[in-house]
Amino acid sequence: MKMNGAKILIEALKKEGVEVIFGYPGGQVLPIFDVLYDADIKFILTRHEQGAAHAADGYSRATGKVGVCLATSGPGATNLTTGIANAYMDSIPMVAITGQVKSFLIGNDAFQEADITGVTRSITKHNYLVKDVKELAKTIREAFYIAASGRPGPVLIDIPSDIQQQEAEFIWPEEVDIRSYKPTSFGHPGQIKKAARLISASKKPLIYAGGGIITSGAHHELKKLTEKLNAPITWTLMGIGCFPATHKLSLGMLGMHGTAYANHAIMEADLILAVGARFDDRVTGRLDKFAPYAKVIHIDIDPTSISKNVRVDIPIVGDAKNILGQLIEDMDKIPDTSEWLKTIEGWKKKCPLKYHDKKDIIKPQYVVEQIYEATKGKAIITTEVGQNQMWAAQWYKYDYPRTFISSGGLGTMGFGFPAAMGAKVGLPDKTVFDIAGDGSIQMNIQELGTCVANKINVKVAILNNGYLGMVRQWQELFYKKRYAYTTMTNPDFVKLAESYGAVGIRVTKREDVPKAIEKAISTDNVVLIDFKVEEEENVFPMVPAGEALNRMIEGLA
């Protein structure tokens, strides 16, 4: 059947199982919006295109499906870019669709023209400019395949408005065959056997897991292997939820604001089994001092991640779920880890994660703990970036994958709120909390409008300290407390929430924290809680940038 490009796009999205699109209309996507008007795909009109991109990203992180966002040409498209870069750095499958000026005007500096495929080349896994309506269906099929397979990532499709209007037969390719793109899925059996032998020979093995576990859905295999080896496990920010935090073998997060015992374990281990993690600088600290005694096995789907930062003894390229499954089978001789676990228990006792709680003031860590208590660890937590993010990572115990949603690689302030919105749209029965700072919440506060209009009842907990807290912390520790431009003059967040039709709650006393959280959860509306917390509280422990992992600042006596 012949149909126009806009209709082909929507039909193709339906074929891909797309249930919701986050976006914003404009001149060069009018034909698409005309089709959307009566299509059975939900459309969420955000208040800013950046919100749409983050929402699609949050939706994807919560559900595992490909998130979709849509914007017009020029400023619409460029407003998506932070969201696209964010998804790229964290390997989140997303398809961004942009309108473009008519194909014969491209390159003419036409109204609202931007070379968005040029702009996004280095922040997308791949991108397309569609120049022939007959290529459109195939392009969309490929885009979804590329976004979700291998190491996932965002793919952008730029569609000139005349292509949206031209007609073609809708032919849906059943198979995707891209000769230049064949991601490896199964690991090399010989390498897996070698890894098993190396693990058997170790005395102090440590599993270091990352976001790849969650992407691959390998958390069951990871748990099975960890328990079989009786080995301690630590994870990255992106790996939070890949293994139950309440498990006795768990060391929590490692790295700059990781637990002291996880960092000590890295420095003492004789074997590191890295799975779906990429030895980011926030994890390794000073590279030449990282894990000095350890042999390294690295399982990753992306060959470029292997031996990029840390020299690897046994690389295994492929999907974590497949490889861990095989590794479990190949492990016949289990190393004796009892001594090693005793050492770690000692560190756990000696340097636990802690903060100095006070009766007369609200500690931000306390708020996070209370959210954990109130939600029984079953909520989806999104975060902004900075202190709020680290406290949310440290003080909520995540036992399930896809329950911690945070901007890891790019560190995007303003991510958490629209991401919470996307997560809630994907999983409407879940309680979704955005743990925010007073600075970062204001970077996409306009999405309150979207949430209220669409009854996306997310809860926002602002840890309001009146500062851009993480930058202030660095200024305190490394710039002689010269707080250059890190104090915030904030609006009345309660009134602000109310003006949007949401519920605002202000909490200034510690004893009011639990009931405010209860009220937020039980209120059938968008709720924003403004917690006035200790102003100059710091995130500890902390490894200063460029220091070895065991050079932590503990912060507390």
> In this complex, which beta carbon is closest to another protein, that of residue 149 or of residue 473?
149
Residues 6+ apart with CB under 8 A from 370: 513, 514, 517
Cβ of residue 115: shortest distance to another protein, in angstroms?
10
Looking at the Cβ atoms of 7 and 298, the one nearer to another protein is: 298
Three-class DSSP category at 339:
helix
| In the complex, least distance from residue 197 CB atom to another protein, rounded to whole angstroms | 25
Two structure tokens written together for 391: 């406290």
CA dist., res. 544 & res. 477, Å (int): 9
Please, what is the minimum distance in Å from the beta carbon of residue 252 to another protein? 31
Structure tokens at 6: 């806009």
Minimum CB separation of residue 121 from another protein in Å reads 5
For another protein, the closer CB: 54 or 125: 125
- N-terminal to C-terminal alpha carbon distance within the chain: 73
CB of 82 to another protein, least distance (A): 17
Give dist(CA 475, CA 469) in Å, integer. 10
- Residue 120 or 259 having the CB closest to another protein: 120
For residues 506 and 495, give the distance between their C-alpha atoms in angstroms, rounded to a whole number.
10
Short-list 492, 490, 496, CA closest to 468 = 490
Q: Minimum CB separation from another protein for residue 123, in Å?
A: 10
Closer by beta carbon to another protein, 183 or else 217: 183
DSSP 160-211: EHHHHHSEEE----SS---TT-----SPPHHHHHHHHHHHHT-SSEEEEE-H
At CA 55, angle to CA 50 and CA 57, rounded to 5?
A: 100
Q: Per the structure block, which two tokens stand in for 294?
A: 């350890």
CA distances from 103 to 26, 35, 159 (A): 17, 20, 9
Nearer to another protein, 155 or 353 (CB): 155
Minimum distance from CB of 414 to another protein (Å)? 24
Contact present, 322 and 305 (Cβ < 8 Å): no
Cβ nearer to another protein, comparing 129 with 497 = 129
DSSP assignments along 131-143, one per residue: --GGGHHHHHHHH
Query: Would you say 125 or 321 has its CB closer to another protein?
Result: 125
Give least dist CB 204 to another protein, A: 27
Calculate ∠ Cα 8-62-383, nearest 5°. 120
CB of 88 to another protein, least distance (A): 12
Assess contact for 447 and 424: CB atoms under 8 A. no
Q: How far is the CB of 228 from another protein (least distance, A)?
A: 32
For residues 276 and 422, which CB has a smaller minimum distance to another protein in the complex?
A: 276
Shortest separation between residue 311's beta carbon and another protein, angstroms: 8
Eight-class DSSP state of 465: -
Least separation in angstroms between CB 169 and another protein: 23
- Residue 82 or 149: the one with the smaller Cβ distance to another protein is 149
Shortest Å, Cβ 119 to another protein: 11
Nearer to another protein, 181 or 400 (CB): 181
Question: Position 387: which residue type?
Answer: Q
Which residue number, 114 or 529, has a Cβ lying nearer to another protein?
A: 114
Burial class (CB in 10 A: 0-12, 13-18, 19+), 65: middle
Report yes or no: 6 and 165 within 8 Å, Cβ to Cβ. yes
Residues in contact with another protein by CB under 8 A are 117-118, 121-122, 125-126, 129, 146, 178-181, 302-304, 307-308
With b for 16 or more beta-carbon neighbours within 10 A and e for fewer, the 357-392 pattern comes to: eeeeebbbbbbbbbbbebbebebbbbbbbbbbbbbb
Give the gyration radius of the chain's Cα atoms. Answer: 24
Which residues have C-beta within 8 Å of that of residue 265, sequence separation ≥ 6? 206, 232, 234, 251, 254, 344, 347
Cβ pair 398, 26 in contact under 8 A: no
Residue 416 tokens read as: 């958490």
Between 158 and 447, CB nearer to another protein: 158
Integer Cα distance of 399 and 380 in angstroms: 11
